Structure 1
Amino acid sequence: MRKDLKPVLSALIIRHFLIIYAITIIYTGICAALLSKVEMWDFSMLKDTAIWMIFAALPAMYKAGRTPDIKQYFKTILVELAQITVLLEFIMGLHTYDLWKELLLAVLVLFLKGLISYSQKPEDVQVHKIFKKVDTAISLGIILLVCIYLYKHFLEYWTLAYLEQFVLPVELTLMLTPFLYLLIVYMRFEETFTTINSRIKPHKLLIFTKWMLMLHFFNNLAGIKRWEQQFFMRRPVTKQDVLNSIKDVKELQAAEANPPEVLLTNGWSPYLSRDFMRVHLLSAGQYVNHYDDSWGAISSTLHLSDDYLANDLIYEVTGTKTVVTQIELILKVFDRSKKGNAHEVFAKYLKHLFEEVFPGKTVPVELINRILKGKAYQMSYNTYLLVCDLDQYDNHLNSYNLKFAIRHPNHVA
């Protein structure tokens, strides 16, 4: 047990975490000082402020460093902060318990928040839904209890002192929001700048690149992340290259926001086809340029079991900048002895994909039979080509990939 805790405790005191602790304490102190200036904070609120900082501000800052999408972050974090604020005020403001009881109640609820965060992996989706329902029920229950308690003790709490204490967490949360935004922007740009610092020459071009990135992506963190991905494939060597790369990213984002119509005779829309498997948590990621005019998007890996050598599924679309011409579903079997019913599961996912691509049609029986047997096969379907490939690896586990592809007539290998 002690050995298991040692790396966790060590992680809590590493330099980056200590910096976050210090920033949180300093910023909370500044907020308290500002509220004190307008007579909305005094030292009697020190305990409430400290507990809010530990259980609301710090978790929000940790999540800020990991968020890939600033808009989605604030949609979720503001709701979570509101829930925690109401909870803390119910525990600390409306009732006076011993400090250890207040901390215990807060820790229990924060533990539930941690379970919700930890269970966000695709394979834990059912457990995540249960935790979310429990969390929602607790939050609604606390809000109801607060309303009932205030109704019964209206005159007792209708004083300026209690009102100031009750709204303190709300004030601190509102004051924290702009700081969180700046923190996210700083951390995201710092990450990108660390990537390009030693890779862009000369130094003048590096400085120009940083200024252009801040100018164009200050409020577009998804854009700066995509630019960084593109950077590894096409590194700018002139100022015009930098401007063109930024322009390309913005054009792609505009196309994603309003996908242009793609005629079926040309292929499939990149921004619609990548979501054909969304219902199975296999939505492909961003549609990016691999090389020349080769583009594609690939999903995260979906584990079919909890085993370390689990069978995995991957969904991928490839084509040109404007159209997808090949759609693939890939089964990765790492250990042939543990494949179990992997082929049957693969066939089920394949049927769904086929019906998405060809609405109202069913998968040819011969194709399903080949999939179940793990045999290579290809057949024409109208003007399309249906391909089943088997790639075997020469290792002691007899690993292999079973691939199913739908190729448009315009596909170029």
Structure 2
Amino acid sequence: MGIFNNREIASGIWLLIIFIFMIRKKDIRHSLKQFFKTLFNKKILISFIFMFISTAIIVLFLYHINFWDISLLKDTIIWFLFSGIVTCVNAITSRSDKNKLKKIIYENLKVLILIEFIINYYTFPLIIELIVMPIITVIFLLDVFTDNKEKYSSVKKLMKTLQTVIGFFLIYYFISNLVSSYQGFISYNTLKSFLLPIILSLFFLPFIYLFLLYAKYDMIFIRLKMGSSKSKELTKYAKKEIIKTCLLNLNKVKKLLKGNAAKLMHIQNKEDVDELISSL
């Protein structure tokens, strides 16, 4: 248990309570069953394996340059589950393709990251964390729910005020702890713990690019299977020509997918493929 701080233990306890409550409901059990069935879908499993291997490669590199060690394992797992996977999913599901990688860089370099790290470094006793966590969660959810809703503007204002007060109190708590025991905070290990998620996120960008590329190619090949029937030879020829033309150029792949979806579905012969390729 010494691996986890009180906030992480409190989070685990609350998640366990919520999970136990959920599985007692028959309809939720059915939904969870469907969720896990979807989770073990071949394409999703391949995606998770790709993300895991990508993270492992980055960690091995950091280990080789003497930055990563076993003390950072917990931070790495937390980053993978709550940042790495989420970033990849958001990159795929986001409606806007414009400046996607730049947005990811910004999210990982903004000053808020330092504030979040500072707030989470010193935690309250476990019993206080267990009480405070659901209260803060409710405040955050109410803030999200009342966003852009004029009739709830007074509630929105109150939630913002409460968040500000809590934020200042947490920073005060951190400063008071820092003054009394600054030796524990000002250390190389603390610096590594702070930098690790930022470095992992930045090093993960090439893998996100490849992941996006794979997803777009997959969508193109799904379009090829739809529409008019095509021989295996024609489908194979179309895939080969598309890959040969686009290669690692994500913009070309997106252009092909966005402007030629109908053509992909109604290819009849090799001449149609060549005409489609020439438009790129």
**CA 207–47 in structure 1, closer or farther in 2 if over 3 Å, else same:** closer
Q: What's the counterpart of residue 210 of structure 1?
A: 242
Q: Does the 8 A contact of 2:108 with 2:201 survive in 1?
A: yes
Q: What's the counterpart of residue 53 of structure 1?
A: 80
Q: CA offsets, 1:163-216, max 9 Å, x none? A: 111111111111122211110111111221232256476356424532355249
Q: Does the 8 A contact of 1:31 with 1:172 survive in 2?
A: yes
Match for residue 40 of structure 2 among 11, 14, 25: 14
Q: Does the 8 A contact of 1:70 with 1:184 survive in 2?
A: no
1:65 aligned partner, one-letter code: I
Q: CA offsets, 1:97-120, max 9 Å, x none? A: 679959x969x77x969x96xx8x
- Is 1:159 matched up with 2:191? no
Q: What's the counterpart of residue 277 of structure 2?
A: 243
The structure richer in helix per residue is 2
Q: What's the counterpart of residue 296 of structure 1?
A: none
In 1, the alpha carbon distance for the partners of 2:115 and 2:32 equals: 27
Q: What's the counterpart of residue 8 of structure 2?
A: none
Displacement after TM superposition at 1:32 (Å): 2.2
**CA 204–18 in structure 1, closer or farther in 2 if over 3 Å, else same:** closer
Q: What's the counterpart of residue 18 of structure 2?
A: none
1:189 aligned partner, one-letter code: Y
SS of alignment partner, residue 40 of structure 1:
coil
1:14 aligned partner, one-letter code: F
Displacement after TM superposition at 1:36 (Å): 1.6
Match for residue 257 of structure 2 among 225, 233, 237: 225
Displacement after TM superposition at 1:3 (Å): 0.9
The normalised TM-score by structure 2 is: 0.61
Q: Does the 8 A contact of 1:68 with 1:222 survive in 2?
A: no
Q: Does the 8 A contact of 2:221 with 2:239 survive in 1?
A: no
- Is 1:26 matched up with 2:53? yes
Q: What's the counterpart of residue 297 of structure 1?
A: none
- Structure 2: runs of 5+ lacking an equivalent: 1-24
**CA 98–189 in structure 1, closer or farther in 2 if over 3 Å, else same:** farther
1:168 aligned partner, one-letter code: L
Displacement after TM superposition at 1:232 (Å): 5.1
**CA 145–45 in structure 1, closer or farther in 2 if over 3 Å, else same:** same
SS of alignment partner, residue 216 of structure 2:
helix
In 1, the alpha carbon distance for the partners of 2:251 and 2:76 equals: 30
Q: CA RMSD, aligned part only?
A: 4.7
Displacement after TM superposition at 1:63 (Å): 1.8
Q: CA offsets, 1:24-43, max 9 Å, x none? A: 33333332222122221211
Match for residue 181 of structure 1 among 205, 209, 227: 209
User: Higher Cα Rg: structure 1 or 2?
Assistant: 1
1:224 aligned partner, one-letter code: L
Displacement after TM superposition at 1:18 (Å): 3.7
Q: Does the 8 A contact of 2:58 with 2:200 survive in 1?
A: yes
Displacement after TM superposition at 1:76 (Å): 4.2
SS of alignment partner, residue 279 of structure 2:
helix
Displacement after TM superposition at 1:143 (Å): 9.9
Displacement after TM superposition at 1:144 (Å): 10
1:2 aligned partner, one-letter code: K
Q: Does the 8 A contact of 1:70 with 1:221 survive in 2?
A: no
- Is 1:39 matched up with 2:66? yes
Q: CA offsets, 1:211-233, max 9 Å, x none? A: 35524953345413223424157
- Is 1:65 matched up with 2:92? yes
Q: Does the 8 A contact of 2:263 with 2:276 survive in 1?
A: no
Q: Does the 8 A contact of 2:105 with 2:202 survive in 1?
A: no
Higher relative contact order (CA 8 A, sep 6+): 2
Q: Does the 8 A contact of 1:185 with 1:218 survive in 2?
A: yes
1:36 aligned partner, one-letter code: Y
**CA 18–222 in structure 1, closer or farther in 2 if over 3 Å, else same:** closer
Q: What's the counterpart of residue 15 of structure 2?
A: none
